[in-house]
Structure 1
Amino acid sequence: MKRFMIVSKQRSGTNHFVSLLKSHPQIACFGEVFRDGYNVPELIGEAFAHYAPTEARKTDPDRFLDDLEEFVKTDAYVKFAAHLKDGSFLDPAAYQHYASYVNSDIDVLGFKVFPKQFLPVTQVAHRAGLQIIRLVRTNLLAIYSSSQIAKLTGQGTALVHQEVQRSKLDFDAKHFERFITALNAKDDDVNKALQIIPEDRIFEMEYSDLGSERVLENLLNFLGVEPRQMTSLTQKRNPSRIVDRFNNPGTVMAYLEQHQLTTWAEE
């Protein structure tokens, strides 16, 4: 089974992206399986209880991914794919969607990592059989505002049947600059680690490409699966006009103008 790793910053559309890829019958895609706090027994199953400590996954990531590959061939994967964080399940039609192809058509296994999770398992990225999808969101104001609103509301992802919890921020230039400095430092480390990986094993795409049929078709070709329409079960939480995410948009706009970053005003 082919494998891929989505490498990206936080709040860069990865939840939407994973949901898109999961809707393809040849792809099994997981979230941050190497994240501290990822509840493996609850999210995947009790058979993975021995992987509950993060170190158990990071110490031997290849073995963990081998076991994950075996898992997607079982009926238990249907429950995982259709399960929601609140303990409920998707509607019956969606459940049957996953049940219709499990055990037969899945050819590709993937997961996502953010910089903090990527560096401890860099050796996995160096495996010849693993492909890298590098998802980049260049609008750091969008990342910052999305991250802070998620903290305020306690809602990191909104599924299509859920009510979106909305909030606005007070823009603080110093807080924003500390945030992006830390974000860029981690991302620089990831870029250095990726430099030694052959270019033909890396598919680079931007946040805006998540809505491009052409780019997504090229991505599916890169993964070696059939082209088809994919559907995400997530919905957008925040306005595309980024300055409208703040209580003081005039202050935000003045800051962007001062630093020649007016393209970040909307996305």
Structure 2
Amino acid sequence: MMAGMDDRLFVLMSMPRTGSNMLVSTFDSHKDATCLPAIFTAGGWRNWRARARRQPDDTVSSRMAKLPKKWNELDQRIADMPEFLDSVAAQFPDDKRIGFKHHMGPVDRKSTAQIIALKLPTIILRRRNILAAFSSGQIAKVTGQGSLSIGQKRKEAKIEFDAEAFQLYVGWWEAVYEHWIAEIQKTGAPCMIIDYTEARKNEGKARAATFLGLDAQALGQTQTVKRNPDEILKRFSNAASVESFLQDHNLMHWRVETEAEV
């Protein structure tokens, strides 16, 4: 970790549609931790500010609202990242851990490189079933609904499988993870990698909490629920085409996303 930075900070690195909101909610449920959304994106910043307006008694949002107004500018948060993160951490003096999520994004994403350079303890969230991530992302685009919270009404949709688009997605996805994991490991920062299917289980959540030095028994209830069915073919309007593609490419294990994949 960069000298002088608050040593309670950590980061959850992932790609979209890998369960990052689930893990944010998991960590935030712990009595000794606070975990924030994607504070180095415009959308993630808007999310907690909107929550503060809807729920003025929300502790996290009310404390974040006390930050200097200069941090409302994304460019400022990225340019002065160590100072900004220390300002955030200062709002939560009683927590043992303060974290935030960040989507790695393309290999030239400036904010990702800067976060990695801070050498924060890092949890990398992956999703081995790339078809699950791909379909989840496409459904989110159609429905306008990404993460699903407990009690929230689910918007139903099926998408059409495009083999060429999916193959391009797989290549991009694998290249992104390979690049950023290598960059993180170069720093020597404490790091653990967890798959989505493991992170869904209590044992996986406990392993992540233990990595951060938190009492795994003190985790509360995660406030998100799974958005789409584990039977991945049910997500597509042309399921037969998907199954044929998987069979031709020796990927039949991606038909269903189960905990057995861990």
Shared fold per TM-score greater than 0.5: yes
Unmatched segments (≥5 aa) in structure 2: 1-6, 51-63, 258-262
Q: 2: distance between equivalents of 1:221 and 1:47?
A: 30
Give, in angstroms, the shift of residue 37 of structure 1: 3.7
Give, in angstroms, the shift of residue 191 of structure 1: 2.1
CA 1:204/1:186 → structure 2, altered by over 3 Å: closer, same or farther? closer
Aligned twin of 2:228: 238
Aligned twin of 1:91: none
Q: 1: distance between equivalents of 2:151 and 2:71?
A: 31
Give, in angstroms, the shift of residue 175 of structure 1: 1.8
Aligned twin of 1:60: 80
Is 2:171 aligned against 1:186? no
Task: Using the TM superposition, name which of 29-38 and 166-175 deviates more.
Answer: 29-38
Give, in angstroms, the shift of residue 253 of structure 1: 0.3
Aligned twin of 1:25: 31
Give, in angstroms, the shift of residue 46 of structure 1: 6.3
Aligned twin of 2:149: 159
Give, in angstroms, the shift of residue 222 of structure 1: 1.6
CA 1:248/1:131 → structure 2, altered by over 3 Å: closer, same or farther? same
Aligned-partner residue type, residue 91 of structure 2: F
Which string of whole-angstrom CA distances, capped at 9 and with x for unpartnered residues, describes residues 208-249 of structure 1?
111333333232222112222431111111000101100111
CA RMSD, Structure 1 to Structure 2 (Å): 2.1
SS of alignment partner, residue 135 of structure 1: strand
Aligned twin of 1:111: 100
Aligned-partner residue type, residue 234 of structure 1: T
Which string of whole-angstrom CA distances, capped at 9 and with x for unpartnered residues, describes residues 44-96 of structure 1?
426443122221111111111111112234xxxxxxxxxxxxxxxxxxxxxxx
SS of alignment partner, residue 62 of structure 1: helix
Q: Is the 8 A contact 2:198 2:204 kept in 1?
A: yes
Give, in angstroms, the shift of residue 173 of structure 1: 0.7
Unmatched segments (≥5 aa) in structure 1: 74-103
Q: 2: distance between equivalents of 1:119 and 1:263?
A: 35
Is 2:71 aligned against 1:51? yes
Is 2:54 aligned against 1:34? no
Is 2:255 aligned against 1:248? no
Q: 1: distance between equivalents of 2:191 and 2:110?
A: 17
Which string of whole-angstrom CA distances, capped at 9 and with x for unpartnered residues, describes residues 117-142 of structure 1?
864243433445x2010111011100
Aligned twin of 1:222: 211
Q: How many pairs does the alignment contain?
A: 234
SS of alignment partner, residue 266 of structure 1: coil
